[in-house]
Amino acid sequence: MTDKIAYETHGPVAVLRLQNPPVNALSQQVRQGLSDGMDRAEADDAVQAVLIVGDGRAFIAGADIKEFGKPLTEPNLPDLCTRIESSPKLVVASMHGVSLGGGLEVALGCHYRVAQPTARVGLPEVHLGILPGAGGTQRLPRLTGAQKAVEAITTGRHIKAAEALELGIIDRIEEGDPLEVGLAYAQDLLSQGAPRRPVSALPNLEGIDWDATYDNVLRKGRGQISPATAVRAVQAASELPFEKGIKRERELFMELMNTDQRKGLIHAFFNERAVSNLPELKGVDPRPVQTIGVIGGGTMGAGIATAALLSGLNVVLIEMTDDAATGAHKRIAGNLAGALKRGKINQEKHDALLNVALEVSQNYDSLRDADLVIEAVYEDMDVKKEVFGKLDAACKPGCVLATNTSYLDVNEIAASTARPADVIGLHFFSPAHVMKLLEIVVADRTAPDVVATGFALGKMLGKVSVRAGVCDGFIGNRILAVYRTAADHMILDGASPYHIDKVLKDFGFAMGPFEVADLAGLDIGWATRKRKAPDRHPQERVPTYIDRLCEQGHFGQKTGEGYYVYEEGKRGGTPNPKIPDLIAAEQAELGITPRDFTDAEILRRYMCAMVNESAKVVEEGIAARPLDVDMTLLFGYGFPRYWGGPMKWADIQGLPSVLADIERYAAEDAWFWAPADLLKKLVAEGRTFDDLNKEAAQ
């Protein structure tokens, strides 16, 4: 026995209790302990049944993900599940909290399953780029039927106990201490003389149209292959005897284990948790936050207010005029109505949030009790300074003063107040009650407990919070500006925006950069180009063909015309026939002969520009680690999760090849493509971005 499993007997029942906090992941020691425990129970003639139960907050959260990518160790999980199932003694699982992946597979290896009413089960492996590899694709469909198993496995969703009972995944729901409940159930089964009931012995299931199901799941996966591959594993359960099906599952599992997508998805899993784990936050208590102020009730301010209300905070929103206040209230009411419709809140909660927790005011004095105020007004330094002056006068001492600016200098804003240590940037992404990313912008004089308060607020709001330093655009928008420029350069040189959009959607982005530009509004880029014009480097190439469209009042989706033309009531747009002419005119003016671009070259240039700027952002300390850039792009910019982020993508490609391409491009445009020093250093030392993440974690 290992110390991860406690063995005890209660009358005729041997109990194997998992003790591997925080979530009883099935590490080698846990697997060994379970296997030894089964041996011991079987060797004891007084034992008639075995109960498997977990200590702490979950039954079992699955295989130990930290072991993935390392050499396999015995006993392996599929064999362990088969070993449990083939025990001559009755085996029962008592499940509480979550039973996920390998955790559910262990339970499916047992002969009977009882769960707490609050328990959740699921096979979420596809989200890690793999499939259930310990019999889950063979046993689950034997209980639920093919269609339901395909749905559960390809979505990886968590299934609540009541539904699990209905689907036949569990046998009983019982509230109480999981050990007591499990013991009572086992005793019950013994007294009834209940037989062993191996799921693998159940008959093969009915077939479905496997090819159509595979195609459908593949399409929905937008390039992610694990869900579709899982369909083939379930197909094996319908077409092959159990032993052969298990073999097929193993083959497909190992195939996926060796993919880059598995590496990217596991990188995302661990780093979305690691991102808020910063040395500067250790031992620093955040300031308490119960009431927040929001200045400005446009789309952004209303979104922030909605997110805060839905997280249980009180909100005081300040607007300047009656009309604006009414508009803000309407927007928040609309957002909350959406939450009500989707079942996120009930009517009573909805009414309380809108009528009690929210106050819309035109008077800064209403902010007297606010613990934190977020300004979300027009992006103009003078306007921001005026707002901060008023906040300085109205807010209580210790109130955190935050700006939601997307690029303005937070140091300058802070310096305009009498309390710069209380000032921080909280950069939300629109719509703020939906988008997961929050950039926490730490200015030179921001106090450590104000930084901790930013992260605590992010956690309350369910955001992925990333620390960023002060620069134009912080982490995300600064990098975006550069890879967008790379795309614009390709357009000047001959690629079409529609080709570029297609290549990036094939790569896994939900939208192409020009579709995004149309959605965000072309006036934003136009304003930025004008703002940056005075400080522009003489060697900078800035395409202006799209400004001609803006000059005619076409700003993308909101005006019905941009890179695409949008028709009322139709989803998506069609290429705007004016665009090629505008591009051709600028090419003629600049004396450029357009050339062809392959899909591969478009992707490579776009990604190399992203990686190079990302490396500069890390090198300058704007991002604390490469993983901070990766999480910013994943949660705020639609970067495909299965690549893990741009820095993980670069590691997977091999940094020497990325640098070689950047240097090749630099021969054409040395200013734009100047390679990052950090990238050159890592290549010279034979290291990766992930090595920097690991060093930072030590």
Site of interaction with ligand HSC (CB under 6 A): 22-23, 25, 58, 61-66, 72, 76-78, 98, 100-102, 105, 124-125, 128, 132-134, 136, 273
CB of 108 to ligand HSC, least distance (A): 11
Give 573's DSSP letter. -
Q: From CA 304, how far away is CA 314, in angstroms rounded?
A: 12
Q: How far is the CB of 476 from ligand HSC (least distance, A)?
A: 23
Contact by Cβ (8 Å): 635, 436: yes
Is omega for the bond preceding 538 within 30 degrees of 0, making it cis?
A: no
Closest to ligand HSC by CB, 78 or 420: 78
Least distance (Å) between residue 119 CB and ligand HSC: 12
Instruction: CB nearer to ligand HSC: give 10 or 157.
Output: 157
Minimum CB–partner distance for residue 25 and ligand HSC (Å): 4
Integer Cα distance of 505 and 516 in angstroms: 12
- Return the H-helix or E-strand segment holding 7: strand 5-10
Q: Which is nearer to ligand HSC, 30 or 490 (CB)?
A: 30
Nearest residue (beta carbon) to ligand HSC: 101
- In whole angstroms, the minimum distance from the beta carbon of 4 to ligand HSC comes to 13
Active site residues: 105, 125
Please name which of 253, 260, 269 lies closest in space to residue 224, comparing C-alpha atoms: 260
Report the nearest approach of ligand HSC to the CB of residue 125 (Å).
Answer: 5
Q: CB of residue 413 vs ligand HSC: minimum separation in angstroms?
A: 33
Q: State which amino acid sits at residue 345.
A: I
Give the Cα separation of 99 and 95 in Å (integer). 7
Query: For 273, how many CA atoms within 13 A lie in the half-sphere containing its CB?
Result: 6
Q: Which two tokens stand for residue 556?
A: 């993308």
Smallest gap from residue 477 Cβ to ligand HSC (A):
28
Residue 609 is which amino acid? A
Q: Which is nearer to ligand HSC, 158 or 558 (CB)?
A: 158
Residues 283-288: contacts with CB under 8 Å, at least 24 apart: 284/448, 284/449, 284/451, 284/452, 285/449, 285/452, 286/449, 286/452, 286/453, 286/455, 286/456, 286/457, 287/371, 287/372, 287/398, 287/400, 287/449, 287/450, 287/452, 287/453, 288/371
Q: Nearest distance from residue 132's CB to ligand HSC, in Å?
A: 4
The distance from CA 487 to its chain's CA centroid, rounded to whole angstroms, is 25
Spell out the alpha helix ranges (H) of 62-177.
77-85, 102-109, 136-144, 146-155, 161-167
Query: Terminal CA-to-CA distance of the chain, rounded, Å?
Result: 31
Beta carbon nearer to ligand HSC, 34 or 394 = 34
Q: Phi, psi at residue 279, to the nearest 5°? A: -55, -35
Q: Measured from the CB atom, is 78 or 297 closer to ligand HSC?
A: 78
The SS3 assignment for 330 reads helix
Q: How far is CA 223 from CA 130, 411, 509, 640, 642, in A?
A: 14, 42, 9, 9, 9
Q: Which residue has the tokens 């094939």?
A: 506
Nearer to ligand HSC, 41 or 107 (CB): 107
Strand segments (E) across 345-412: 358-361, 372-375, 400-403
- Helix, strand, coil percentages in the chain from 3-state DSSP, rounded to 5: 55, 10, 35
